[in-house]
Homo-oligomer: A and B are copies of this chain.
């Protein structure tokens, strides 16, 4: 049998019977419309260029909400609503600065304060710097930490082909690093940026303070400057840094999930959620993270209307508030769903960039996942060849917790994502129109299949 199997396997031939021809035609229709009349790219341009970076609670957040409402209305939503939720208000407060002190050249370092971090105060902090390569090393050298700036130099691992694995491996230094250093008396923390980019852009992102320890200022440093710092520390045991960050945390304010619906024709109470998050870090335009996810989701609604596909179940497009530093939008969405006892069949998120698609990751019983892998031949012509176990998205996670709702996340090619994730270069120009459109095509195809066959 083996011989025959691999012939069948790898030519990706006809693998399931019912309706495949019809589905293939419908998905081609979706693709043709998106590749010809797609609005995802233009929607993204407007978001990036007229709103830009949009941290939760900032004036840009409100502009982005208006953009989202309008884009969903233009796409043809049956109704568009704003779902209120509290959001935190972290504010960078000015230009972050750092330079070496006793280095002969007094070099500036390109840094970005971490999201949620406290500022140094207007005078900044001047202190000796200690390089730490791992939490093990931190614990071993705990007696040397007091009064110092801890520089976490943990390297992004190039050996993972799927770069989200490198991120999962490294991000704890950004998330937990400052508080773990504070535990031993550090006065500030710097982290080597989570990227294998060839440039020097620092990559920000949220840190999570542990309330048991003092909150110390924290920032990310770009790779070239991180390497310079490594050299300086190697040459001079008394190397010191000046650091000035200006961040402050104001009290919570009101933000919104922006929601557009296509009402289901047969089972309007069965809800399929598709979303991305509307907030982004401030130094860039949040083009891939996660403007792309927002316009992907909106495009599904648009294309269904454009080709006259009337979903059986209700398709709800959600542009979530505050993913980056609080997850308040996703949390609120699930809370309200629970309070209203809604029926959530499935949720799909795009939060891994607008790159050429390769797969979907599913949080779903393994037998169900195996069953829907028979759909893959429909997706392969559009670049998706993997339905992987595990995946979803931060914003739809609470829905799974609340109801056990099956989740999926779009998995685009990940090679370029961490070159620009949370960095200045995450701008509209870094997005390719067709790659973005192929993401929307595959997402729309998946939603069409789930709407038609259930899950």
Contact = CB atoms under 8 A, between A and B. Distances in A.
Interface residues of A, number: 44
A6 to B, nearest CB: 5
B373 A358 contact: no
A212 interface: no
B15 A413 contact: no
A356 B413 contact: yes
Interface stretch (A103-111, A174-182, A375-383): A375-383
A416 B435 contact: yes
A31 B198 contact: no
A204 B159 CA distance: 38
A370 interface: yes
A381 B162 CA distance: 9
A267 interface: no
Nearest to A10: B373
Contacts of A421: none
Copies of this chain in the oligomer: 2
A373 to B, nearest CB: 4
A29 to B, nearest CB: 11
A161 B8 contact: no
B161 A196 contact: no
Given A161-B383, A415-B432, A438-B161, A15 B9 contact: yes
B434 A159 contact: no
Nearest to A358: B383
Interface of A: 1-2, 5-12, 15-16, 31-32, 35-36, 41, 158-159, 161, 163, 196, 198, 356, 358, 370, 373-374, 376, 381-383, 385-387, 413, 415-416, 419, 432-435, 438
